[in-house]
Amino acid sequence: MLFRAAARSLSSPARQFSSSAARQSKVTVLGAGGGIGQPLSLLLKLNPHVTELSLYDIRGAPGVAADVSHVDTNSVPHLTSIKVNGYPADKLDQALEGTDVVVIPAGVPRKPGMTRDDLFNTNASIVRDLAAAVARVSPKAHVLVISNPVNSTVPIVSAVLEKAGVYDPSHVFGVTTLDVVRAQRFLAGIAGADPKDVPVTVVGGHSGATIVPLLSQTPYGKVVTGEVYKKLVHRIQFGGDEVVQAKEGAGSATLSMAYAGARFAGALLRALNGEKGVITPTFVKSPLFADQGIDFFSSNVELGPNGVEKILPIGQLSAEEEELLAACLPDLKKNIEKGKKFVSQS
């Protein structure tokens, strides 16, 4: 979608002009110098809804901004060029000023043998401090959290904003799109289909057993059974580990994550710009399992001009999916509580 949109805008100035009539969106990437941040910044530069791109990192963001700023999208003479600015460590507030959307891939990635929860000690304080800056400078921004462990970092961001008195639950999202991307890609491989024709809803959270793909809800998925089904579910739940192992200590998924992050940001920007019926799974403050003390959950969410428009029910589950969900909930609850406790004790 993103690439098609980009290709259209390159080939058709008229279309590009019409997209310029849309609302102006400043997008800020916190952690823009990293493995995800760099390709994500490039993909955001291709998005016609992004009219200003603000790149911040404690290392290297001005260089990434100079590089990305030469990409000639949205730069035909009758349009205002997209502004791309890079900000060094001491310019966080300037990076956030007036921003509509903040994407956070700042923090350390896993090495082989680590769980996402092992990143908590380092990433919790990074995300807490960045969220405090958002609360101070751009409290109305939509915040897209990529930094792991997402099951804890989203509650951290939410609690920081709440403490500052500026929390709007419809503005905070955990980006779980990579689980959807993997589910579609892996199922399409089994089905011999094009991934775009194989939508899969993934619910729960973003780590191992908390990732629950609802394959029974898709025509291609419901016919996958037995060992093939078990292996497929395992591969979706542990796709991140596959990449961590293959990278042999050099980090985790960056390119597929940049694609997934750009896809989610693109969906949100389309909804903010008035497109109706934009529905995608994302990890948000949710009533679905709140009666069990789990107040954040990823499910299909309809996005709108104010972010979360409607949280959709998870629908009919197969017996296997009921079991996956039962395994997900206790882990998810612990991860959420850990994030909240961290902020309350900070």
Ligand X SMILES: O=C([O-])CC(=O)C(=O)O
Ligand Y SMILES: NC(=O)C1=CN([C@@H]2O[C@H](COP(=O)(O)OP(=O)(O)OC[C@H]3O[C@@H](n4cnc5c(N)ncnc54)[C@H](O)[C@@H]3O)[C@@H](O)[C@H]2O)C=CC1
Distance CA 44, CA 37 (A): 10
49 part of the active site:
no
Residues 156-185 that bind ligand X (CB under 6 A): 178
Q: Give yes or no for residue 252 binding ligand Y (CB under 6 A).
A: yes
C-alpha distances (whole Å) from 225 to each of 211, 218, 231, 327 are 18, 13, 10, 19
Identity of the residue, 69 or 254, whose beta carbon is nearer to ligand Y in the bound complex: 254
x/- track of binding to ligand X for residues 238-277 (CB under 6 A):
--x--xx-------xx------------------------
By beta-carbon proximity to ligand Y, the closer residue of 115 and 292 is: 115
| Cα 322 to Cα 40, 204, 318, distances in angstroms | 35, 12, 6
Q: How big is the site for ligand Y, counted in residues (CB under 6 A)?
A: 32
Residues in region 214-243 near ligand X by CB under 6 A? 240, 243
Instruction: Output the smallest distance, CB 92 to ligand Y, in A.
Output: 7
Measured N-to-C along each axis, helices 177-191 and 239-246 cross at an angle, to the nearest 10 degrees, of 90
User: What is the three-class DSSP state of 127?
Assistant: helix
Q: Which of 6, 29, 30, 301 binds ligand Y (CB under 6 A)?
A: 30
Q: What's the residue count for the chain?
A: 346
Least CB distance to ligand X at residue 169 (A): 23
Tokens 């956030």, located at residue: 96
Q: What is the DSSP string of 253-313?
A: --HHHHHHHHHHHHHHHHHHTT-S-EEEEEEEEEEEEGGGTEEEEEEEEEEETTEEEEEPP
The answer to whether 84 and 53 have CB atoms below 8 angstroms apart is yes
Residue 243 binding result from ligand X, ligand Y, none, given CB thresholds of 5 to 8 Å by partner type: ligand X
Min. distance of Cβ 225 from ligand Y in angstroms? 28
What does DSSP say about strands 142-145 and 172-174: parallel, antiparallel, or unpaired? parallel
Q: Which is nearer to ligand X, 86 or 149 (CB)?
A: 149
Summarize as ranges the residues that interact with ligand Y (CB under 6 A): 30-31, 33-37, 57-59, 105-110, 119, 123, 126, 130, 146-148, 150, 175, 178, 206, 251-254, 257
The set of catalytic residues is: 206
